[in-house]
């Protein structure tokens, strides 16, 4: 779910930026973005609806009624930044619409600057009777985003990558490294089936802290499952520290900072706070190129080990009085 959220948020942000720029430039009569946006949205709609849209005006004067055409699915689309009822009526009245109507086409209007929800309840002069339902066939960035939010992760990824390419943001612009991602990278190379934990843990102290923080619901599934890797992480942290004295400290403090933000959320339970910390650590780690070759399931498992370890080390959640560390 973390990739889905991250990809959707990125897509929504870029469509909003494009909409804002088109709207601002339009006030200055600078219209070059409109031309590029037509191609940009063509590619999005082709992924979104399985269309095979092509430019309608290539080699023609740009005076026709439509901008994009899919001859297979009998769909034409006008892409515009002019969000008015008159714009739609003017298009529907053109002679070209009669030809398209006779051939069985339907028409959609995509507005790429402002929202168009106020236009969907209007009645239009569809004198050529082309297939057109205002409630369903008037689109804007909001309706496009609604459809994008329902995509499978594979198609969502396609649109995310398309937009990333269009905006010139290649993976190299992501953070190449983070200490947390480096720990995940280290841990992913370990044989987790062979746990040789030479460090004895004060299990009573851990259980008391779990109970004190009302985390009993995930004791067996999470804490008991992952606390056994404490010794393995201890060794990794020591190896990590050879590269820099503050590296291991920075990892644990980063996790603490995620927890501190969760403390301010008075609406969520401690179990929800715990899993929110895991989610934020995962979001942070996934920005790094260091983990790009690691399967997502392994990343998730490694992050759970790291966060449970931070709990055991008393870096997150309150400690019962008298307990500062549970390793002996």
CATH 3.40.91 range(s) for the chain read: 2-169
Task: State pLDDT tens for residues 167-186.
Answer: 875 444 345 568 889 899 88
Please tell me the pTM assigned to this model.
0.53
Looking at 3.40.630, 3.40.91, 1.10.3470, 2.40.10, the CATH number of the domain 2-169 comes to 3.40.91
Q: In the structure, what pLDDT confidence band is assigned to residue 260 with cuts at 50, 70 and 90?
A: very high
Which is it for strands 106-111 and 68-70: parallel, antiparallel or unpaired?
Answer: unpaired
How far apart CA 131 and CA 154 sit, in angstroms, is 31
How far out from the chain centre does Cα 14 lie?
Answer: 12
Indicate the range of 283-287, 297-301, 308-312 predicted with least confidence: 283-287
Q: Can you list the alpha helix ranges (DSSP code H) found in the chain? A: 2-27, 32-49, 85-92, 95-102, 134-137, 141-149, 153-166, 179-188, 203-212, 224-226, 230-241, 247-263, 270-285, 296-312
- Are 130 and 97 in contact by the 8 Å Cβ rule? The answer is yes
Residue listed under structure tokens 């987790």: 192
């Amino acid at each position: 779910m973390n990739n889905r959220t991250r990809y959707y948020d990125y897509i929504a942000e870029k469509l909003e930026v494009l909409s804002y720029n088109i709207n601002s430039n339009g006030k200055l009569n600078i219209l070059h973005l409109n031309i590029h946006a037509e191609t940009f949205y063509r590619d999005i709609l082709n992924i979104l609806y399985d269309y095979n849209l092509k430019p309608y005006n290539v080699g023609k004067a740009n005076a026709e009624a439509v901008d994009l055409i899919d001859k297979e699915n009998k769909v034409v689309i006008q892409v515009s930044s002019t969000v008015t009822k008159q714009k739609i009526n003017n298009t529907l009245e053109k002679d070209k619409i009669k030809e398209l109507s006779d051939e069985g086409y339907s028409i959609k209007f995509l507005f790429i600057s402002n929202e168009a929800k106020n236009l969907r309840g209007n009645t239009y002069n569809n004198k050529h009777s082309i297939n057109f339902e205002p409630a369903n066939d008037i689109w804007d960035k909001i309706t496009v985003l609604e459809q994008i939010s329902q995509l499978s992760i594979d198609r969502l990824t396609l649109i995310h990558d398309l937009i990333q390419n269009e905006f010139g943001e290649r993976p190299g612009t992501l953070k190449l490294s983070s200490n947390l991602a480096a720990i995940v990278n280290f841990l992913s190379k370990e044989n987790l089936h062979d746990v040789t934990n030479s460090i004895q843990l004060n299990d009573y102290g851990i259980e008391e802290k779990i109970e004190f923080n009302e985390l009993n619901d995930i004791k067996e599934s999470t804490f008991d499952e992952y606390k056994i890797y404490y010794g393995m992480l201890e060794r990794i942290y020591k190896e990590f520290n050879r590269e820099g004295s503050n590296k291991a400290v920075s990892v644990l403090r980063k996790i603490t900072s995620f927890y501190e933000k969760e403390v301010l959320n008075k609406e969520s339970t401690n179990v929800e706070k715990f899993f929110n910390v895991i989610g934020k650590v995962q979001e942070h780690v996934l920005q790094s190129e260091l983990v790009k070759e690691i399967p997502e399931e392994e990343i998730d498992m490694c992050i759970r080990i790291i966060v449970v370890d931070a709990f055991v080390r008393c870096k997150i959640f309150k400690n019962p009085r008298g307990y500062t560390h549970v390793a002996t």
